Chain A
Amino acid sequence: MADPDTHSRPVEFRGGGFAPKPIRGLGPAVFIVLFILWEIGSRTGVISALVLPAPSEALVALRDLWVSGELWLHLGASLQRLLMGWTIGSVLGIALGLLIGLFSIVRAGVSPLVSAIFPIPKIALLPLFIIWFGIGEESKVALILFGTFFPTVIFTYGGVDNVDRSLIRMGQSFGLSWFSIVRKIILPGALPAILSGMRVSSAIAIILIVAAELIAAEKGIGAYVQIAGSLFATDQLIAGVAILSVLGLTVSWLIGKAERFLLRWRN
């Protein structure tokens, strides 16, 4: 202890970690291993065919759907409802969200109403919509429209509220017209929030359309799954669920694309 310690050693490394990095191929590998295990389980009888069909059987069901052309019938019906309801719901939602964000009178009058209706699980309104619009397409489109409208409103006016005030001041100081300020400063400033809202509302739209089709439809992925279930055709059921997964992934991939394009100024 008396001698000054001159022993030298590297400083202990304490950084690192807490930084997720992509590992290529691991995700698909997990998928494939799981499917192989599942297939083996089904073939050896560990997994009873009644509980869960083998993935290969689900694939056959999927191919049948494709060959018979029923795939496009069901998918087409679902997509049409989805696109119509979601588009109209988003457009109206963005419009009302902007009005709430821009005009105090609209905000004071309408936003409590929006907050009150937002948390209702919209599927509970389907019977009402069927009474109002009939059993056909209209009631389902209305359900999706209604379900996507409210989150879009809330995300949009949240986005407008968050637009940097100093940019608006800048616009005013250069004598920009009210309309220019809305179009060139407020709308692009709120766009990230609006796109987040569309991501959320697209997920809601898919849930709602399937739920609606499970309850009341002859065509559509939900109807296909419902019929398969009632016939205990689990292979078709799994095929239907797989289609829904792909549908969800595709929609979120498209929105990701749109974000990267529209928000390319971010990074």
Chain B
Amino acid sequence: MDLHLEGITHRYGDMTVLDGIDLKIESGQIVCVIGPSGCGKSTLLRFIGGLERPDSGEVLQVGNAPAESLNPLTYIFQDFALLPWRTVEGNVSLVLEDHDLSRHAAAEIIEDVLARTKLTDFKKAFPRQLSGGMKQRVAIARALAVKPAVMLMDEPLSGLDAQTRELLMDDLIDLWSREKFTAVYVTHNLNEAVRLGHKIVVLSRRPGRIREIVEIDTPIDGRRRGNAVLNQTQDVLWELLREEAIAADMELTNG
């Protein structure tokens, strides 16, 4: 299943946030979206997942999601969005309960995703007992449980410390190598973008327009830290972003 974004334009009040975004998200690819603060990245992600409607333009689903997919467009949020009153297991179970699954089938899915995210030993723990990295792994497990066709991730690693972020990034890379999932990955971190993205979309400052799309051909599971191509790409991205970020900053301070 692919997603085509066609002419997405949106304004909040008299502030145009996004202006004419056209983008193709192909099955099995990770598309990273970067851009200065406030340029509409999160807004764009909400449109893609159908949580909000753009003023004009459309998000088109091309082809059908695999039949076994319970929730084709699935988010992973920056703040994890776990229910504090449910255990790890309960948080995963939450998203299965509205589907027509036998108790046994649901339990099997929960077992499986917790094992894949190395959380089996923590299934009875409440979120407050977990570190940030573990909470985000619970959120990932929850997303995997509904077998998404496309994962929509809004700065999933931003709330975490640098070491945890590295570890989780490795986990994501592992996961992608095994399952070749499709994802739109919003980030501020250029290193994450070059490590995870097949395609990196650079948005301009508000109103967000596509400034450039950078493609990286090195296979994701073959990208080593310190790889020359990646470093070079990261520098290119930084140059692109720098001007936008400085300009955006000036606009904000000028009110």
Contact = CB atoms under 8 A, between A and B. Distances in A.
Secondary structure class of chain B's binding surface, majority of residues: loop
B83 A184 contact: yes
Contacts, number: 47
Contacts of A265: 84-86, 126, 128
A266 B94 CA distance: 19
B95 interface: yes
A174 B74 contact: yes
A172 B79 CA distance: 16
Given A265-B126, A265-B128, A266-B84, A174 B95 contact: yes
Interface residues of A, number: 19
Contact of B83 (A167, A169, A175, A177): A167
B204 interface: no
Contact of A166 (B49, B79, B95): B79
B83 A188 contact: yes
B77 A166 contact: yes
A76 B98 CA distance: 45
| Residue with the greatest number of chain A CB neighbours at <10 A, chosen from B85, B94, B146 | B85
A267 B83 contact: no
A182 to B, nearest CB: 13
A123 to B, nearest CB: 38
B74 A173 contact: yes
B81 interface: yes
A242 interface: no
Nearest to B94: A184
Contact of B98 (A173, A180, A188, A266): A180
B39 to A, nearest CB: 21
B32 to A, nearest CB: 20
A209 B142 CA distance: 50
A185 B83 contact: yes
Contacts of B49: 173
Contacts of A176: 94-95, 98
B67 interface: no
A241 interface: no
A266 B84 CA distance: 8
Contacts of B97: 180, 184
Contacts of A180: 97-98
B101 interface: no
A170 interface: yes
Contacts of A174: 71, 74, 94-95, 142, 146
Contacts of A167: 81, 83
A195 to B, nearest CB: 13
Nearest to A171: B94
A184 B85 CA distance: 10
B79 A175 contact: no
| Residue with the greatest number of chain B CB neighbours at <10 A, chosen from A173, A175, A176, A265 | A173
Interface string B55-93: 000000000000000110111010101011110000000
Given A166-B77, A188-B85, 20 more contacts: A167-B81, A167-B83, A169-B51, A170-B75, A170-B77, A170-B81, A172-B51, A173-B51, A174-B95, A174-B142, A175-B71, A176-B94, A176-B95, A177-B98, A184-B83, A191-B85, A265-B126, A265-B128, A266-B128, A267-B128
30 contacts: A166-B81, A167-B83, A169-B81, A170-B75, A172-B51, A173-B49, A173-B74, A173-B75, A174-B71, A174-B74, A174-B94, A174-B95, A174-B146, A175-B70, A176-B94, A176-B95, A176-B98, A177-B98, A180-B97, A180-B98, A184-B83, A184-B94, A185-B83, A188-B85, A263-B85, A265-B84, A265-B126, A265-B128, A266-B84, A266-B128
Interface of A: 166-167, 169-170, 172-177, 180, 184-185, 188, 191, 263, 265-267
